[in-house]
Amino acid sequence: MNIYPVILGAILLMTSLTSFSKDQQAISNANMAPPVIEGKSWLLIDNDSGAVLSAGNPDKQIEPASLTKLMTAYIVFKELAEGRQSLDDRVIVSEKAWRMQGSRMFIKVNSKVRLEDLVKGMIIQSGNDATVALAEYVAGTEESFVGLMNAVAAELGMKGTHFVNSSGMPAEGHLTTAADLAILTRALINQYPEYYKYYSVKEFTWNKITQGNRNLLLYRDPTVDGVKTGHTKSAGYSLIGSADREGMRLIAVVTGTKSKLARADMVQNLLNYGFRNYITKKVYPAGKMIRKIDVYKGVSDAVSVESADSIYLTVPRRGSTKITQTVTVPAYVIAPVNSGQVLGDIEFSVQGTSLGKYPLTAVAEVPEGGIVDQLIGTVMLWFADF
């Protein structure tokens, strides 16, 4: 049987992460069928390869509710990583933040709260008050912060997403998709692992009030270390779960279910399905030299090409998983060649089904040669047999 489209093209672990393509080949899978999911949309992907292992309506726009806080966290983590903010910063709580309804951390107006405590309040307690306080601290106003959210969403390739607020409170036009949420989650985990740790914390106490993490999978599956729940009456119950088993990490997104238990069960079923039926292999590390290409009219007569990023492939655990590769590069190039210039690609396949093409880039710069190099190159091209 065939499952929904499978392997993403190039693995892009930084802000160049792109949305999931609709026209990717399906990979033959002789294993068990994906679980039945009763929600508005869902998606299961491998974190390293980006392989889509199961999906339903992944591009359907839905209300994200508190899943919105993943983007708020992503931007705060970016600020911390780039040194513009510190976990020890003291944040003054505005009246707007204090008055936020829904789930709250119960911070007091005009009080000064450590930024790290606000992060914990936003992630563990899903506090709307903590979220707005963080947004205002980073950008001055929540409205300005929302502009950052939408700009980052565009950079990440979240094509079906538009934010109206930082917390996920119901608002007209505040929408995203399961595919976009997977892109965001993958970026957050891969780019900011030092801050992702907060998503596995089971409870947090503030103002003498202890609140538990709403992600039920943290209490039932030791391999699960995140990520986030969301709920409003109109959005239903949603959950993004991620687990790491023996070095393989999967991300499951389920939106619009009927209860807390249902969303947890469905995400658990997706994760179990993925781990039982697939395995991810690291084919090449970042910077692996793949081939040399002749260079004419340059200061050097050859240039090596590499896979700039690590290449991971996800294949079924059972059946034939022999991976074949095809390298496509030109017979020669003419100088100048820039370092990082794309000069071809490498494609992987299993049983004739493509697992994706990955760009091959020049390892080093090859400047244009002098007059002698130019003349020699011209003569050699006359007599070359390609």
- How wide is the angle at C-alpha 29 spanned by C-alphas 21 and 318, nearest 5°? 130
CA dist 131 → 90, 189, 218, 220 (Å): 15, 19, 22, 27
d(CA 137, CA 153): 20
- CATH level 2 (architecture), domain 41-279: 3-Layer(aba) Sandwich (3.40)
Q: Is-contact 235 65, C-beta < 8 A?
A: yes
CATH 2.60.410.10 residue ranges for the chain: 285-383
Q: What share of the chain is helix, strand, coil (3-state, %, to 5)?
A: 30, 30, 40
State the span(s) of the chain assigned CATH 3.40.710.10. 41-279
Q: What pLDDT was estimated at residue 14?
A: 29
Residue ranges of the chain with pLDDT lower than 50? 1-30
Burial class for 193, CB neighbours closer than 10 Å (0-12, 13-18, 19+): exposed
Residue 192 has which token pair?
């900011």
Q: Specify the pLDDT at position 386.
A: 62
What distance, in Å, lies between the first and last C-alpha atoms of the chain?
43
Q: Are 231 and 237 in contact (CB under 8 A)?
A: yes
Burial 119-135 (b: 16+ CB within 10 A, else e): bbbbbbbbbbbbbbbbb
Of 41, 66, 166, 238, which residue is the catalytic one? 66
Instruction: Look up 66 and say whether it is catalytic.
Output: yes
Q: Contact, 232 vs 62, CB < 8 A?
A: no
> What are the angstrom distances between the C-alpha of 369 and each of 168, 231, 364?
58, 63, 15
- Residues 314, 280: contact at Cβ < 8 Å? yes
Secondary structure E strands in the chain: 41-46, 52-56, 90-92, 112-114, 203-206, 209-212, 224-232, 236-245, 248-257, 278-284, 288-296, 302-307, 311-316, 323-328, 332-334, 342-350, 353-362
- According to DSSP, residue 213 is labeled -
Cα–Cα dist 113/98, whole Å: 12
pLDDT for position 111: 98
Of the residues 69, 78, 120, 228, only one is catalytic, namely: 69
DSSP summary character for residue 337 = B
CATH placement of domain 285-383: 2.60.410.10
Helix (H, G, I), strand (E, B) or coil at 283: strand
By C-alpha distance, which of 209, 206, 199 is closest to 229?
A: 199
Q: What is the pLDDT of residue 376?
A: 85
Q: Which two tokens stand for residue 109?
A: 């107006």
Model pLDDT for residues 214-273, shown as the tens digit of each residue? 999 999 999 999 999 999 999 999 999 999 999 999 999 999 999 999 999 999 999 999
Q: Which of 49, 103, 126, 349 is catalytic?
A: 126
Contact call for residues 184 and 155 (beta carbons, < 8 A): no
Residue 114, strand partner residues = 90
Q: How distant, in Å, are the alpha carbons of 55, 75, 87, 305 from that of 333? A: 42, 42, 50, 12
Nearest to 236 by CA among 212, 211, 266, 270: 266
